[in-house]
Structure 1
Amino acid sequence: MTTADGPYGADGWTAAVRQRLGLGRLLPLGGRSDGSWIAEQAATTVLRDAAAGSGAALGTLRIAPVDEDHAPDPVVPGPTGALPPGPLRIEAGFAASARRPLTATSDALRAALLAAAAQRLGLVVDEVDLRVTDLLEEEPRPAAKPPPDVRAAEPEGAAATAAAGVPGVVSLTRVLGSAVQHTEGHVRVELATAGDHRALDVARAVRGAVTEAVEGRPTVAVLVTAVVPQD
């Protein structure tokens, strides 16, 4: 059972809602001054895609803080229940062909995960914990990739229009409420990014565009709910 002291670091109701919506944890993108987060489901989709050429068939895949209790506070407030900025750990189980040395497969998988986390997303990953769950007679074949659930929203207002116009933004989204939420001196934007753009770079650009577009230059937080592959 998820509680206020559970793995999501938020009250049980909020965590349960995120689970039902398929988001998982809200992971920090970049550092404490970047004001950006990504849904765990969106991040793991990218990581699974990157792992497809490593010779491993990924099973369970989880992204967690290395030390949530000592993580610094973000410079700007994030979505309710979002993890604080700090280094992350990828934990994964995988099946591999017995015809290839397991160390070679695990090294290739670890390298693929680290490269995708840094270069395609902007996650700060310090550790990758891998475990072999099965040995296969043949090389595993990549599984079919379901399309991401984008839940697009039309831009309304200055903040939304500015965010939607940033290169790499596929659409605004409305998973945790409206696409743009305003509080006193602060704006939170929810969106989907293109797979050929680094998610953190898009989020940074959105924060800058929204700050300039909204009167009073509010602080801005961005939540990436989906990463959409590009042909």
Structure 2
Amino acid sequence: MTTADSPHGADGWTAAVRQRLGLGRLLPLGGPSDCSWIAERAAAAVLRDAAAGSGAVLGTLRIAPADTDHVQEPVAPGPPSALPPGPLRIEAGFSATARRPLPATAEALRTALLTAAAQRLGLVIDEVDLRVTDLLEEEARPAAEPAAELRAAEPDGAAGTAAARVPGVVSLTRVLGSAVQHTDGHVRVEVATAGDHRALDVAQAVRGAVADAVEGGPTVAVLVTAVVDRA
């Protein structure tokens, strides 16, 4: 049997390409009516930034479905092999000094991750599973994450022009193909969003702008491939 993550078929090919590009999983933003997704790489960068003031140094970080029994079908098709809407789980390892009780450090880290996921991204997180991987002799400064390459695309057509004008959109992107993908009665748009805007809010504004700009009132899905801190 061929599955979405199989190396066979279009979805499996797309998943393999995603991994090579470093996007990771395509995570649902919001719920089934929001029709918005974000690349795991982009979400993880925001979460790592939020964790920097917790006293913990994040190691591995993974975002996955929390409960596959409670996923729902989106009201419009998303990117190939994207996770369906449903609660998510953050799994992370961290190191810290013993100058502060480890349970207190873990709780500060959990709070930072949950707050960033909700307020900066729009991810629905049900669980945060943390594990201590190392005890440090002294406080360590978290290593800066290398900036991901931004594969920007110029706006083209009514949908692209409308999306690019939405506040909080840094640029259209072309990671999984063209920035704007048209199918019968449906449009999918790839964007990079600004770090000072909540990713889900920007995606919803893009959906509304594109639906208004394209004849026939198509359904619209949005994929956020990067979250960019603007100077």
Q: TM-score range by the shorter chain?
A: over 0.9
Match for residue 190 of structure 1? Answer: 190
Match for residue 20 of structure 2? Answer: 20
Task: Quickly say closer, same or farther: Cα 1:66–1:7, change in 2 above 3 A.
Answer: farther
8 Å contact from structure 1 (residues 148, 228) kept in 2: no
What is the CA distance between 1:7 and its match in structure 2?
A: 9.4
8 Å contact from structure 2 (residues 28, 123) kept in 1: yes
Q: Given the two structures, how large is their TM-score scaled by the length of structure 2? A: 0.95
- 1:96-115 map, 5 Å: 96-115=96-115
Match for residue 80 of structure 1? Answer: 80
Query: What are the ranges of 5 or more consecutive residues in structure 2 without an aligned counterpart?
Result: none
Match for residue 3 of structure 2? Answer: 4
Task: Quickly say closer, same or farther: Cα 1:147–1:56, change in 2 above 3 A.
Answer: same
What is the CA distance between 1:4 and its match in structure 2?
A: 2.8
Q: Secondary structure at the match of 1:189?
A: strand
8 Å contact from structure 1 (residues 149, 226) kept in 2: no
Aligned residues: 228
Cα displacement string for residues 69-119 of structure 1 (whole angstroms, at most 9, x for unaligned residues):
441101110000000001100000000112111011000000000000000
Alignment of 1:140 with 2:144, yes or no, is: no
Runs of 4+ in structure 1 over 4 Å off: 5-8
Match for residue 127 of structure 1? Answer: 127
Task: Quickly say closer, same or farther: Cα 1:13–1:42, change in 2 above 3 A.
Answer: same
Match for residue 158 of structure 2? Answer: 158
Q: Given the two structures, how large is their TM-score scaled by the length of structure 1? A: 0.95
8 Å contact from structure 2 (residues 11, 80) kept in 1: no
Give the letter for the 1:4 counterpart. Answer: T
Task: Quickly say closer, same or farther: Cα 1:128–1:20, change in 2 above 3 A.
Answer: same
- 1:169-188 map, 5 Å: 169-188=169-188
8 Å contact from structure 2 (residues 70, 87) kept in 1: no
Q: Secondary structure at the match of 2:72?
A: coil
CA distance in 2, matches of 1:12, 1:209: 31
CA distance in 2, matches of 1:158, 1:146: 34
